[in-house]
Structure 1
Amino acid sequence: MKAVAVLRSISKVTNLTPKIAVVGQISARALSTSQRAFSIAPELTQALTREIQAEQQLSQENLGGSSAPAFQGFNIATKDAEVRLTKQFGKESILVVFNVNHSVDMDDDYEDEAQQEALPVPVAMPPFTVEITKGDDRLCFHLELVESVDVQGEYDFRVEEFYVAPAAKDGNEDVAAEIYASSGKYIDPDLHDLLFVRYLEERGFDAQFCKTLVAFATHYEHSQYVGLLNKIKAFVTK
């Protein structure tokens, strides 16, 4: 539903005398462009309106309408495609950041109509970062969401990268390129369990958090898509 095909016609110029033919070409092209602008805009507007209505109905039936899922214990702030979650844990300030751009993976395996009806809403699974700040330092994790191998509809995360960096100052959250970061794939199994599982679970990053993140991201990404369609419609009808 997210593709709108636009067919363009090329006008042909009749054979005239050389001097008149040049003028005729320019006039014909200008007229053709004008006709396209006046003919395509209403058709495109109608298509956008239908798509917006269909997506809104889909949201109402499958995503709970305008009410996004809540993150227990976190404060939520959004800016366009970016979502930021914050909370305090003792002396620690915890920040979670993710972006819903390109977070929906359309599975090519679901091509027939029956499969598409079974999965009416593409699920958003954005990568996210967790920063735990204490004093002048922050412990950072870059994580990927993965589907649970044990329970359908459940999710988990895997640590792609982790490092310690100076705490953000004056709103500057950038991490210097010279900061050493290690891959999460090659850590000792005991450290994996203690740091990646139990340490993060203690701070609320568990299977339930992952499930909520997927639900929230799916709802929010869909609302951003509908918002984009509305912006395009407003632009076309100016």
Structure 2
Amino acid sequence: MLYFNLIRFSFILKVVKMRSTAVCRALSKALQRHVSTAAVSLSNELIDALKNEITAEKQLEKENLRGEQAPRISGFEITTDGANVHLAKLHGVPLALPSLTIEIIKAQQRLCFYLDLFFPDAFSVLIAVDFRVAEFYIAPASKGTEDEDVPESVYSSSGKYIDPTLHDLLFNHYLAERGFDQKFCREVVDFATHYEHSQYVKLLTDIKSFVSK
């Protein structure tokens, strides 16, 4: 009698276990369907938001940034690669490479200036742009790559402490002869504003494409 009870008890356990497994599978499938539906809904909402933002940014570009074509910078050749913008100008033999850093190259050396752009008058931000030299130094010329690091042994000085006469000759007249003046700064700001905006629109477009896959 005990033997049959054990068999029956074992059978009941198996039935309960099978039912429990079936319930878990059903719940798992229902949860997967819910998560999948929610993910699709969120993706569609995100795609719609990105579309609206891209449309708005392109309208802003059309109304305030003079169209899709970025403005030019007089006398400079512009090369872009994503977030990198490279400007080059030939002045006699030396090659000036302005970006955040100006490098004037002669033979095996380069005279380098780190520039900070600023607005001289807070009320004329749409007109006047100027620069101050934050740092300057002489370094060996790059060997093959323009972004080559400057050796740690190179001494640099702050532009704040230079003699006023030398400041005027080196930072103003010397750079102005090579095209680095207020007009150049204004054109850089115009170009950078337009180019940064176009890169932002491209980023939104790439995100929309990624989410849509």
1:70 maps to 72
Kindly tell me the number of residue pairs found equivalent between the two proteins: 192
Match of 2:132 in 1: 158
1:79 alignment partner, one of 81, 103, 127: 81
Q: What amino acid is the match of 2:92?
A: G
**TM-score, scaled to structure 2:** 0.83
Structure 1 equivalent of residue 174 of structure 2: 199
Change (3 A) 1:76 1:21: same
TM-score w.r.t. length of structure 1 = 0.74
- Deviations 1:77-133 (CA, angstroms, capped at 9, x unpaired): 000011111111112111113xxxxxxxxxxxxxxxxxxxxxxxxxxxxxx110000
3-state secondary structure, aligned to 2:98: strand
1:219 counterpart SS class? helix
Q: What CA RMSD, in Å, does the superposition of the two structures yield over aligned residues?
A: 2.0
How much has 1:31 moved relative to structure 2? 3.6
Q: 1:31 to 1:155 in 2, by over 3 A?
A: same
| Whole-Å separation in 2 of the counterparts to 1:25 and 1:182 | 69
Match of 1:131, SS state, is strand
Gaps of 5+ in 1: 1-16, 98-127
> In structure 2, how many angstroms separate the alpha carbons of the residues matched to 1:51 and 1:227?
11
Q: Percent same amino acid at aligned positions?
A: 51
Q: Which runs of 5+ in 2 are unaligned?
A: 1-18
Decide whether aligned partners of structure 1 residues 150 and 231 sit closer, same or farther in structure 2, where only a CA change above 3 A counts.
closer
Higher helix proportion: 2
SS at match of 1:217: helix
Structure 2 counterpart of 1:130, from 96, 99, 102: 102
The list of structure 1 runs, each at least 4 consecutive aligned residues, that deviate by more than 4 angstroms after superposition, is 17-29
* Aligned-partner Cα distance in 2 for 1:25–1:184: 70
Structure with the greater alpha carbon radius of gyration: 2
Distance 1:214 1:31 in 2: 51
Counterpart of 1:170 in structure 2 is 144
